[in-house]
A = this chain, B = another copy of it.
């Protein structure tokens, strides 16, 4: 669109791709196919804004600190709740059930968002509530994708009985294979929940979302629909949070 911006970004992309992180103007000209005088002009302009910086004594250029400054700033604002809310609203509307967003916190997870469906106004759990990490569909998906040493220590505390703990781990492996979890009556008698995990750009678990419904009123077809929708929404949130695809 604007040639100089396109070309400037071409230089930036070349600098950021590949292992090499220090470039001479001539090397950049070679790599981008731009006339060398053009490369000089662009580099000078980019340097003015700290988008690239020159290493005094080798004359080489590298990416500037502005990327870190603005990158970290933007990263801070990737607030999972803000990102998730519109997606959860759509989800609640689609499935006509209450949906939750949880984040892990030591041995419990905390409900940080709840969207009530327009139809079913049965409020069971409220924002801020803490649920042991081994209870409920959402929490299980988080555990299933957490680093093993964390999970092990945590389960040691929450499930002291060895055989029971092993059985639980078996469940987690199954959850990890499938990518979602279903729980029945774990947190609240007579309800079921379908949960799916949310990841950040590194693949670290940031939280999980879940749909909660009355078991009696949920058919198999609906359950399948819930699974489809909740995994879809979770993936959408992850990708909005900056997961690399």
Binding site for B on A (CB under 8 A): 1-2, 4-6, 8-9, 12, 16, 21, 41-42, 44-46, 48-49, 51, 63, 65, 67-78, 105, 110, 112, 126-130, 201, 242
State how many angstroms separate the Cβ of A119 from the closest Cβ of chain B: 14
Residue of B65, B78, B110, B126 near A242 (CB, 8 A) is B65
What distance in Å separates the Cβ of A17 from its nearest Cβ neighbour in chain B? Answer: 10
SS class, residues of chain A in contact with chain B: helix
- Residue in B16, B42, B75, B129 whose beta carbon sits within 8 Å of that of A68 in the complex: B75
Q: A130 and B73: CB pair below 8 A? A: yes
Residue of B nearest to A77 (CB): B21
Q: Which of A12, A45, A71 has the most CB of B within 10 A?
A: A71
Decide if B77 touches A45 in the complex (CB within 8 Å). no
Chain B residues whose C-beta falls within 8 Å of the C-beta of A112 in the assembled complex: 68, 72
Contacts of A110 in B (CB 8 A): 68-69, 72
Determine the distance from Cα of A147 to Cα of B47 in the docked complex, in whole angstroms: 22
> Does the CB pair B42–A73 fall under 8 Å?
no
Supply 19 A–B pairs (Cβ within 8 Å), ascending by A: A1-B44, A1-B48, A2-B4, A5-B5, A5-B49, A6-B45, A12-B70, A16-B70, A16-B73, A16-B74, A21-B77, A67-B70, A69-B71, A70-B71, A71-B74, A72-B127, A73-B128, A75-B128, A76-B126
Tell me how far the C-beta of A32 lies from the nearest C-beta in chain B, rounded to whole angstroms.
Answer: 14
A51 nearest in chain B by CB position: B9
Q: Please, how many angstroms separate the alpha-carbon atoms of A76 and B130 in the complex?
A: 11
A67: chain B residues at CB < 8 Å are: 67, 70-71, 73-74
Give Cα distance in the complex from A242 to B5, angstroms.
26
Expressed in whole angstroms, the Cα–Cα distance for A75 and B75 within the complex equals 12
Give the Cβ gap from A122 to chain B, nearest Cβ, in Å: 13
Task: List the B side residues contacting A72 at CB < 8 Å.
Answer: 71, 75, 110, 112, 127-128, 201
